[in-house]
Amino acid sequence: MNHRSKLVVVAVVVLIGVVAIASAIGGSGGVRGYLADTYARVSGSGDSVVYRSPRSPRTVYDDIRAATSPSDAIVEPDRYFLRYPDDIVAVTPRGGGSTIYLDDEERGYQRWFPVIVPIWGGPFRSPGGGFRGGGPGFGK
């Protein structure tokens, strides 16, 4: 390998390193940082924030999912739910656009309980199983 080829290889390796570092720094805000940088905030309290977008719920869902990989997702005809390690994002229709709800896990389960619990289960599952209820019954 001649001197010029070695310089090209070194330049490529350095460029790959710079891109990797920039990606890590840019992605450090996770879904919270991405939503704050991308959508218009309309309200918020504590770990719950509401954003708006003029784009359709499906477009917003696809955008968020591509930018910040969720651990799970639920797709309904007009609503979209994304689960992250500590957060739940819901995208719902509003006029011709969307409302984006960002909640910490506990608040997200409270807000969207009827939709997400049958699919994802509850947020506070015990290792020994869930609540089995009282009273008479078979299989307890």
Q: Is residue 126 part of a domain?
A: no
Q: Is residue 16 part of a domain?
A: no
Confidence grade of residue 117 (pLDDT, cut at 50, 70, 90) = confident
The residue assigned the tokens 């739940």 is 88
Domains held by the chain: number: 1
Q: Is the pLDDT of residue 22 over 50?
A: no
Q: Is residue 102 part of a domain?
A: yes
Q: Give pLDDT, residue 136.
A: 53
Range in 18-22, 44-48, 80-84 the model is least confident about = 18-22
Range(s) of the domain holding residue 96: 31-117
Q: Determine what percent of the chain is predicted with pLDDT higher than 90.
A: 56
Q: Could you tell me the CATH number of the domain that includes residue 103?
A: 3.30.310
Angstrom distance (rounded) from CA 111 to CA 62: 22
Q: Give pLDDT, residue 46.
A: 86
CA distances from 137 to 126, 129, 131, 132, 134 (A): 22, 17, 14, 10, 8
Taking residues 56-67, report their average pLDDT: 97
Q: Is residue 9 part of a domain?
A: no
Q: Is residue 125 part of a domain?
A: no
